Amino acid sequence: MEPAVARLGHVALETPDLAESLSFFHDAVGLEEVERVDGTVYLRAVDEWDHHSLSLTEAETAGIDHIGWQTAEPDHLEPFADRFETQGIDVEWVDADTEPGQGEAIRFEVPNGHRFELYGEMAKPDPPEERNSKLKNRVYDTTGNNPIAPQRIDHVQIWDPNGKECADWIRENLGFQAQEYYDNADGSRWGTFLSACEVKIDLAVVQSTSEDDDPAVHHVAYTVDSPNDLFDAHDAMNERGLPTDGIGQHSISRGQFLYARDPVSTHRIEFNTGSYLTLDPHWVPVAWEEGDLEDRQWIGAIQSRERNTY
């Protein structure tokens, strides 16, 4: 059986001020704090069972430590490691519980320097007793949640100085499926939208504006129920004086969105309503070309392209 990636698991972020970033991600956005270990805080959304989907570590500057993906089976780590090493890629083995709640893992760099982690298992801790839902199929008692708290991690968008090469490598070596892609008028690839499962997107790979740009992350997206939640989240950010970077609907993926930023680290969260599923095993990627629409956004606009490097 071919080793396979099952889904996006978590993103490990670095910030120059942990307390201030927690004020954004926990107090404003509504992610739940699960554990603190050695200067890192582990967070998850209110409808997530796994130990964490985002971590914050204090560092000299803001950055991305790694993006974590869960494999379909724990024993898929070794064949993935063998595959990468035959290509001359350095693979670091990470012992179980080095990252709290997580089983054994491997870390490596995909082309152009994006740092990925593959792991097979993640603990599913109960919330504090006073926050535990009486429903066995729900994690947190919703009456105690931040009213705008998103439900679960949805996708991550990376920027790459050679976006098509990077996306092709991920498809060929990690088995991701291309859901949609967008080509410029000159035939170059602006963006490829990939999924490890049936959701419309787990990973967006976007071409950087310059070949000299470092690989970077633009945002981490979390799902909410409806467009009304986007307006409630925008209202909450305005009340706190926190920056937002646009609200609307994408043409690619059809996802409705609101972008908000942590002022101290500039890490960006997207509140996203999600979109379609691709259950067809013979899915043909949706092909976009420059000129199909006046703008890549269907409604609204993204107001900031600022992003953080590894």
Q: Are domains 5-144 and 153-309 of this chain identical in fold?
A: yes
Model pLDDT, residue 296: 86
Task: Tell me how far apart the alpha carbons of residues 11 and 264 are, in angstroms, rounded to a whole number.
Answer: 18
Taking phi over 0 as left and psi of -120 to 50 as alpha, with beta for the rest, 308 belongs to beta
Architecture of domain 153-309: Roll (3.10)
**CA distance linking residue 204 with residue 164, whole number of Å:** 11
**pLDDT of 43:** 98
Distance of CA 178 to the CA centre of its chain: 16
Instruction: In whole angstroms, give the CA distance from residue 300 to residue 243.
Output: 16
CATH number for 5-144: choose from 3.40.50.720, 3.40.640.10, 3.10.180.10, 3.20.20.70. 3.10.180.10
Residue 303 near residue 243, CB atoms below 8 Å: no
Q: Specify the length of the chain in residues.
A: 310
Radius of gyration for the alpha carbons in the chain, expressed in angstroms and rounded: 19
pTM greater than the 0.85 cutoff: yes
* Predicted confidence pLDDT, tens digits, the chain (310 residues): 799 999 999 999 999 999 999 999 999 999 999 999 999 999 999 999 999 999 999 999 999 999 999 999 999 999 999 999 999 999 999 999 999 999 999 999 998 899 999 999 999 999 999 999 999 999 999 999 999 999 999 999 999 999 999 999 999 999 999 999 999 999 999 999 999 988 889 999 999 988 888 999 999 999 999 999 999 999 999 999 999 999 999 999 999 999 999 999 999 999 999 878 888 888 999 999 999 988 889 999 998 888 999 9
DSSP-assigned letters across all residues of 185-201: TTS-EEEEEEESSSBS-
Give the phi and the psi of residue 70 in degrees, each rounded to 5.
-90, 135
pLDDT at position 61, please?
97
Residues contacting residue 143 through CB under 8 Å, at least 6 positions apart: none
Q: What is the residue extent of each domain of the chain?
A: 5-144, 153-309
Give 203's contacts (C-beta < 8 A, 6+ positions apart): 8, 155, 156, 157, 158, 170, 176, 193, 194, 195, 196
